[in-house]
Homo-oligomer: A and B are copies of this chain.
């Protein structure tokens, strides 16, 4: 709990004075004022987060956390549980969607085992230099089935967050300018929907979605399972640790830690899809006494998963992209990393009206 408390206490607000300076600078570049819309807002936000006039772009990192879920016993996913470790191996081989999009964005990928339900054999993978790395932070062989009791203990919930913080801190020391989050875990839209439903006070029916591809009957069953878990465990919506322990997941807790650590170290955090957004809601709740960390977050995209828009609205985050995606892994974050880079480059590379000798507006 000490590392978590320390991390939260380190969080400060945005640098408003520097953001105002950035606004003036942006208005001085050779374009009509505000004509780059969201890119200009993003540029100001990143200045406010980093406290730097020229935010660096050298080290881009996607942290993709994997875990399994006891609740898959209830048949809430279209894919077998074995796919979680198989996809971790795919990440380490560089063949998954997140590898492709991270390569394009120039980001390195940190794959973290937070609680995959089998012992992973990773020594045989040539990890493409330092562009893909693996961290073993396994807390257990998957969570427990939350329809029969809490998914994990309170201690495990705290541990998952603190392991996430530690992963971030280690990557930060290596060099980290912009962060994207990602997840892998068969069944993990189920705990994510439970968390979002509980924290936002929205009925499960409006939040739960088809995940990797449930049919109508499968979705109805998933809703019943989530409701059963919430009814049995009674997670306290004012206590993020309680919610994470009772209906969460190890990789979700890990991502909550990564997000908190990003905000406390003044690094822009690009939130991926539904699972990362559930983790972000927990982080926002945990840091609520520090004025929240919402301002440090960049919502990459609105996924096709049912309740994602609702969760983003709850945090008052507006997604950059809306491409009907629902893959996770950090794929949305990787795409939004390109837009984030665009925003920074616009601010740092464009000519001013004076330097380019361009006339200003007449009206």
A→B interface (CB under 8 Å): 29-33, 35-39, 78-80, 82-83, 86-87, 89-90, 93, 95-97, 99-101, 103-104, 212-215, 218, 304, 320-327, 331, 335, 338-339, 341-342, 345-346, 349-351, 355-363
- Are B325 and A356 touching (Cβ within 8 A)? no
Give, as a whole number of angstroms, the nearest-CB distance from A306 to chain B.
14
Contact A335 B341 (CB under 8 A): no
By a CB distance below 8 angstroms, the chain B residues around A304 are 37
> Assuming the A-B contacts A35-B327, A350-B100, are A86 and B358 also in contact, with contact meaning beta carbons closer than 8 angstroms in the complex?
yes
Q: Top 3 A-B pairs ranked by shortest CB distance?
A: A95-B351, A37-B324, A38-B323
Closest to A358 in B: B86
Knowing A95-B30, A339-B335, A345-B104 are in contact, say whether A358-B90 is a contact too (CB < 8 A). Answer: yes
B89–A356 CB distance below 8 A: yes
Further pairs besides A87-B358, A213-B363: 9, Cβ < 8 Å = A31-B327, A32-B78, A35-B326, A36-B323, A79-B361, A80-B359, A95-B356, A100-B342, A218-B363
| Bound complex: CA A205 to CA B342 (Å) | 33
A231 to B288, CA, bound (A): 60
Q: List 20 A-B contacts (CB under 8 A).
A: A29-B97, A36-B327, A36-B331, A78-B362, A79-B359, A79-B360, A79-B362, A80-B359, A83-B359, A87-B358, A90-B351, A90-B356, A93-B356, A95-B350, A97-B350, A100-B346, A213-B363, A320-B323, A322-B322, A323-B339
How long is the Cα–Cα vector from A57 to B90 in the complex, in angstroms? 25
Task: Please report the C-alpha to C-alpha distance between residue A38 and residue B363 in the assembled complex, in whole angstroms.
Answer: 41
A97 to B212, CA, bound (A): 39
CA–CA, A282 and B322, complex, Å: 28
CB-CB under 8 A from A345, the residues of chain B are: 100-101, 103-104
**Residues of chain B with a CB closer than 8 A to A359's CB:** 79-80, 82-83, 86
B215 and A37: CB pair below 8 A? no
CB–CB A325/B32 < 8 A: no
> A95's contact among B37, B80, B331, B355, by CB below 8 Å, is which?
B355
Contacts of A100 in B (CB 8 A): 342, 345-346, 349-350
B212 touches A35 (CB 8 A): yes
Output the nearest chain B residue to A357 by Cβ-Cβ distance.
Answer: B86
